[in-house]
Amino acid sequence: MRMKQLASVLIFVGAGVCATQASAQFDGLYAPVAPPKSVNLGMVELGKKLYFDPRLSKSGFISCNSCHNLSMGGTDNIRTSIGDKWQQGPINSPTVLNSSLNLAQFWDGRAADLKEQAGGPIANPGEMAFSHTLAIDMLASIPAYVREFKLVFGKDKVDIDQVTDAIAEFEKTLVTPNSRFDQYLLGNKTAMTKDELAGYKLFNESGCVACHNGPNLGGNSFQKMGVVEAYKGNVEGRAAVTGKDADRFNYKVPTLRNVELTYPYFHDGNSDTLGEAVDVMGRLQLGKKFTKAENDQIVAFLKTLTGEQPVFRLPILPPSSDKTPRPTPFN
Amino acid sequence: MRMKQLASVLIFVGAGVCATQASAQFDGLYAPVAPPKSVNLGMVELGKKLYFDPRLSKSGFISCNSCHNLSMGGTDNIRTSIGDKWQQGPINSPTVLNSSLNLAQFWDGRAADLKEQAGGPIANPGEMAFSHTLAIDMLASIPAYVREFKLVFGKDKVDIDQVTDAIAEFEKTLVTPNSRFDQYLLGNKTAMTKDELAGYKLFNESGCVACHNGPNLGGNSFQKMGVVEAYKGNVEGRAAVTGKDADRFNYKVPTLRNVELTYPYFHDGNSDTLGEAVDVMGRLQLGKKFTKAENDQIVAFLKTLTGEQPVFRLPILPPSSDKTPRPTPFN
């Protein structure tokens, strides 16, 4: 239904009929970010602690929040992340904000959902460098954690499924409603300035919307990086998951929500600024060189996608007990 | 006055008069942790952002909170900390909690106060590996920071003095009132159990109080590590600051507030548990081998020193601008 609607709109654009009109006919291709409809609050609170707990890493130094920092748009704002022993990660950390709206997780979509994603970095030797068994041993040695898991899950034993369920449940709360764009979509037509609306029009009519649509303005399809012109800096992409040659250089389209906060851009983090990213996308994906004025307007529009960041108290973690295995950062 | 009072009490103990009595006569040697009497709230909010901002490091990855983690008792719970490029730090990170009550900062007291301390790690090549100039360049490139500094300090230019003033002001709020020991000191004599009171008595009468007294149960003098018996693992200590041979192996006595949370113990972090730390202190400082039962009681008392942890919202940091120099974690 959405794709059909999109196709007809794009044909309409192709005909050049609306070149000077407002682009309200595109509004239906997007949707405001909504608060999560159903969350288990006990699980959210437990998941929040786990998200901030560096004891889930071998070193005792790296937590989920290290690379998906909720003070910084859910990213680390570094080209590629820093893992255990300062290893350089292979790819840019995508934002955790609104990630529940994505069709899959990781740039190559190798995790079906947030729960599956959450277990990955803990056991990845280049990231947190721990193992699920060691993570559970750690948690099970801390009486306050054991009690909280029992309260939330009703079981006597902590297991990795509970851990990833809790982290995923917390991540479901990490949505950013009420951006100015969403206010506009919900009927406040004064929420965006003239330049921002012009940028929105360009965004739609140039074809950015073809991939960046839906509530997350992206995150709902895999697309080739470098359609019209090849991208220097491609890695295998989605082909690593599917094994299909056709999926080489295909990546999950990143969300543009809060894109003002999630620099640097692309899977390799090689574009430092939004202006540069818009320029690259225009040329490589659309075969279009935006003028400086057009680029500025699109960037102005993109900044209206910054929503209200999740607000919560910094969690206080339960202390290790005498039996808790100690972190080993230097061996 | 306090030292005189302490001396007379210790003589009293030495005479063995109160061996079986409650140790209420020692209560005056301590004091409850009080909320800060005067803080500049705007400066606190700005300082909180800076405290959590990893852009004050070369890598863009390490913030004050990395090693003085407010989810974890204001420490990193690692023997010695992890610095830029995973360098191993030379000494255990002391807790930031109640650090405003200390007579000086760092284990060797080389910083007179929190403001002086705050500038240290930013420019230390083994820690955040940045420089004050680069830190100011970064902040001055971020319009929202520039506005907030102007609002708080009333000046057009951001400088390092403002940065360290703001961080120190935030740190003044990081006190932990209302521990059960403080409830006891304030008159609630049922706040501690029989075992905890027995541990308190042992703590006083064995002489622990000689160094661990005052509102912070420590933090108010420099003392030799290894009085009766030498400590393996001593480094230069206070002599690095004074140049005096007599100050070798002298360290600032650490606070025992929240000591349940600030493992591992001592300047080298070589004691993993409170029980081990009490045993080492008894033997090396007091020439006393505590029995298992005595050790357990002292540990039980020490756990009554855990206060209410600072509660606040995770700060949301202003995004970098196109002009902000990008972090360089890997070169």
The bridge status of strand A82-83 relative to strand A87-88 is antiparallel
CA–CA distance, B89 with B95 (Å, rounded to integer): 15
- Indicate which residue of B45, B127, B260, B276 is catalytic: B127
Q: How many CA atoms lie within 13 Å of A146's alpha carbon, on the beta-carbon side?
A: 11
Q: Using one digit for the tens of pLDDT, what is the confidence trace for A74-106?
A: 999 999 999 999 999 999 999 999 999 999 999
* Chain B residue numbers touching A61 (CB-CB < 8 A): 66, 76, 78, 82
Distance CA B331, CA B329 (A): 6
Percentage of residues in chain A with pLDDT exceeding 90? 91
A127 is catalytic: yes
| pLDDT score at B13 | 45
Of A88, A314, A317, the CB nearest to B314: A314
Q: Please state, in angstroms and rounded to a whole number, the distance separating the CA atoms of residues B187 and B182.
A: 9
Which tens digit of pLDDT belongs to each residue from B226-246? Answer: 999 999 988 899 999 999 999
CB contact under 8 A, B261 and A319: yes
Distances (CA, A) of A132 to A59, A110, A142, B56, B86: 14, 18, 16, 33, 23
DSSP assignment letter at B193: -
What letter would DSSP give residue A272?
A: -
Token code pair at residue B112: 């007179």
B-chain CB neighbours of A70 within 8 Å are 314
Residue A45: CA count within 13 A, CB half-sphere: 11
- Asked if residue B68 lies in contact with residue B96, where contact means CB atoms within 8 angstroms, the answer is yes
pLDDT value, residue A234? 87
What tokens does B329 get?
A: 């974690």
State the pLDDT at residue A12: 46
Beta-carbon contacts of residue B237 (< 8 Å; ≥ 6 apart): B107, B108, B225, B247, B248, B249, B250, B251, B267
Q: Which residues of A touch B313 (CB under 8 A)?
A: 311-314
Across the interface, whether the CB atoms of A313 and B313 are under 8 A apart is answered yes
Residue A140 has pLDDT above 60, yes or no: yes
- Distance of alpha carbon B180 from alpha carbon B307, whole angstroms: 7
Q: B181 CB near a chain A CB, below 8 Å?
A: no
User: What pLDDT, in 10s, does the model give residues B44-98?
Assistant: 999 999 999 999 999 999 999 999 999 999 999 999 999 999 999 999 999 999 9
B8: exposed, middle or buried (C-beta count within 10 Å: 0-12, 13-18, 19+)? exposed
Q: Is B260 on the interface with A (CB under 8 A)?
A: yes
Q: How far apart are CA A281 and CA B285, in angstroms?
A: 67
pLDDT value, residue A22: 54
CA–CA distance, B165 with B157 (Å, rounded to integer): 15
- Residue B320 sits at φ, ψ, to 5 deg, of -60, 155
What residues in B contact A83, CB-CB < 8 Å?
none
Question: How many beta carbons lie within 10 A of that of residue A105, not counting itself?
Answer: 25
Put simply, the answer to whether A320 touches B263 (Cβ < 8 Å) is yes
ipTM: 0.94
d(CA B145, CA B140): 7
- Structure-token pair, residue A24: 């309200």
Contacts of B71 in chain A (CB under 8 A): 52-53, 314-317
Q: Domains plus CATH for chain A?
A: 2-30+179-303 (1.10.760.10), 41-172 (1.10.760.10)
Q: How far is CA B315 from CA A264, B47, B97, in A?
A: 21, 10, 18
Task: Judge: A61–B54 Cβ closer than 8 Å, yes or no.
Answer: no
Joined together, the tokens standing for residue B221 give 């003098």
Chain A residues in contact with B272 by the CB 8 A cut-off are 322, 326
**Concatenated DSSP letters of A280-304:** HHHHHHH-----HHHHHHHHHHHHT
Comparing CB atoms, the residue among B66, B78, B329 nearest residue A78 is B329
Cβ–Cβ gap A314/B70 under 8 Å = yes
What's residue A6's pLDDT?
A: 55
H helix or E strand, kind and range, residue A251: strand A250-252
Interface check for B328 against chain A (CB to CB < 8 A): the answer is: no
Q: Which of A121-135, A316-330, B19-33, B63-77 has the lowest mean pLDDT?
A: B19-33
Which of A50, A69, A71 is the mutation pick for testing B, counting most B CBs within 10 A? A71
Beta bridge partners of A237: A250
The catalytically annotated residue of A127, A148, A205, A294 is A127
Residues of chain B with pLDDT under 70: 1-22
Burial degree of B18 (CB within 10 A; 0-12, 13-18, 19+): middle
pLDDT tens-digit series, residues A277-310: 999 999 999 999 999 999 999 999 999 999 999 9
Tell me the chain A residues in contact with residue B60 when contact means C-beta distances shorter than 8 Å.
76-78
Q: Which of A52, A59, A260 sits opposite B319 (nearest CB)?
A: A260
Which SS3 state, helix, strand or coil, does residue B82 take? strand
Residues B39/B42/B45/B46 CA torsion (nearest 10 deg): -120
Give pLDDT tens digits for A6-37: 554 454 444 443 333 457 889 999 999 999 99
Quote the minimal CA–CA distance from A53 to chain B in Å: 8
Q: How far apart are CA A255 and CA A89, in angstroms?
A: 21
User: Mean pLDDT of all residues in chain A?
Assistant: 94
Residue A285 structure tokens:
């994906």
Is A82 within 8 Å of B329 when comparing Cβ atoms? yes
Inform me whether the C-beta atom of residue A15 falls under 8 Å from chain B C-beta atoms: no
Q: What is the mean pLDDT of residues A111-136?
A: 97
Answer whether B243 touches A (CB < 8 Å). no
